[in-house]
Amino acid sequence: MRDSMNESLERQSVENESELDRLLTAYREACPIPDASVNFMPHLWERIDGSQNWTRQVWKWANGMVAAAAAASLFFVMLQLLPRHTPDFYGATYLETLADQHDDDEVLENVALLNVKPPQELPAK
Partner 1 sequence: MLVDFEVVERARAGDPGAFNEVVTAYRRRIFGTISRLIGRPEDVEDVAQEAFLRLYFSLDQLRSPDVFEPWLYRLTVNAALDYLRKRKRRRLESRVSDLSEIQVTMADAAAGTHIQFEEHQKSRIRETVDSLLSGVSEEDRMLLTLKEVEGLTLKELEKVYHVNENALKVRLFRARQRVLKAFAASKSVQGEEKKNA
Binding region for partner 1 (CB under 8 A): 12-13, 16-17, 19-21, 23-34, 36-37, 40-41, 43-45, 47-48, 51
* Residue 59 beta carbon to partner 1: minimum distance, rounded to whole angstroms: 14
* Residue 68 beta carbon to partner 1: minimum distance, rounded to whole angstroms: 29
* Residue 61 beta carbon to partner 1: minimum distance, rounded to whole angstroms: 19
Complex with partner 1: residue 19 or 96, whichever CB lies closer: 19
* Residue 23 beta carbon to partner 1: minimum distance, rounded to whole angstroms: 6
Complex with partner 1: residue 39 or 115, whichever CB lies closer: 39
Distance CA 4, CA 10 (A): 10
SS3 letters across the chain = CHHHHHHHHHHHHHHHHHHHHHHHHHHHHHCCCCCCCCCHHHHHHHHHHHHHHHHHHHHHHHHHHHHHHHHHHHHHHHHHHCCCCCCHHHHCCHHHHHHHHCCCHHHHHHHHHHHCCCCCCCCCC
Complex with partner 1: residue 46 or 109, whichever CB lies closer: 46
Complex with partner 1: residue 24 or 114, whichever CB lies closer: 24
